[in-house]
Structure 1
C-alpha cells in the first residue's frame, strides 16, 4: 500500500505544479502559446531614425505593443502601467526585458515623435515606425490587430489591440499579456516565464 501511495503521489505532483502554473498565468492574464511562432523578416525605423529589423528581437525578451503617439487612452495607460511593472520587477528580470511601441499611425509617428513621446515615460522604451504594409504584416504575425486610418488629415484616431505580444530571445512569438493588465500577477508570472526558459 505504501508503494502504491508513493506512486500515486508521484503521479499527482506534476499535475499539481501544472495547475499552480496555470493559475499563476490566469492571475496575470498571461497566455503562453503551446509552440512558439516564427516571425517574418521585416524592416522598420526606430525612434532614433536607425534601421531595425525583426531579427534584432533575438538575444533578449521583448514585449511588443501596437499603438500611436496621439492615442488618448489605451497607449498612455498601458505604457504607464508597464513602466510601473518594470520598476517593481527584480533587476535580474527587468534587465532581460525590452518594451517596443510599434506605430499603428506611421503618417504622424515619425522617429522624432516616437522619441519625444516615449521620453515622457523615462523607462527606456523603444519605438518602431515605417512602411504601413510591413507594419500590418507584423501586426498579423503577432496577432495584434489594428485598423489603419482611412483619412490621415486633421485629428483622427486609430483602432488597435491593447494586448502585448511576448517575444522570446529566439525572436519568436511566445505568448500574450492580455488586457486588462494585472500588474500584481504579472510580477510573479513574468519572472517565472523568464527564469524557466
Structure 2
C-alpha cells in the first residue's frame, strides 16, 4: 500500500470501510488489515489515529450509534402526524436496513469491544439502546397527544419494539422481513388504541 496518499477524513474513511466489510462479510471478517485495505490506506494509518483495534471499533460503534439517531429522530418531528404505527414501522425498517444489525453482531462477537464500550456506554448495545430511547421518547410525545393510552409504559414499549424487530432482522444472510411484517409486529406491541 502506498503511504504517501493524502487522506481527507481518515476516521470517516476507516469507518465507511468497516461498514462495507460488516455488511458484506460479517464481524468475523472485520480486521485492521481488512479495514485499511478497504479504505485504501496503509495499516499504520489506523494505528496513528487509534491506540489499538478495539479502540477503533468502540469509536466506530459509538459514531454509528450517533448517526443512527438521525435515522430515527425524524420520529420526534412526526409526532401527531400520520399514524403511530406507520411512523414506528418506518423508523424500525430504516434502522434495521442499515448497518445496525451488523454492529450488534460485532459487539456480540468481540469481547474486547464490549469491554471498551462499557467504559462509555454502561448498558446494552449502543445502537439498540439508543434506538429504544428515541422510540420511547416519540411514544411519550404521542401519549401526551392522546394517540396512545395514558397508561402505556413508553420505555418498555420502546425496548420491546427494538428487541422484537431486531430478532426479525438478525439473520443478515436470510430473507429480510417485509414492511408489512414489521407493521404487524408494531400493531401487536403498541396498544390497540393507538391511532
Q: Give the structure with the larger strand fraction.
A: 1
TM-score for both structures, normalised by structure 2: 0.20
Could you say which structure has the higher helix fraction? 2
TM-score of the two chains, using structure 1 as the length reference: 0.20
Higher RCO (CA 8 Å, separation ≥ 6 residues): 1
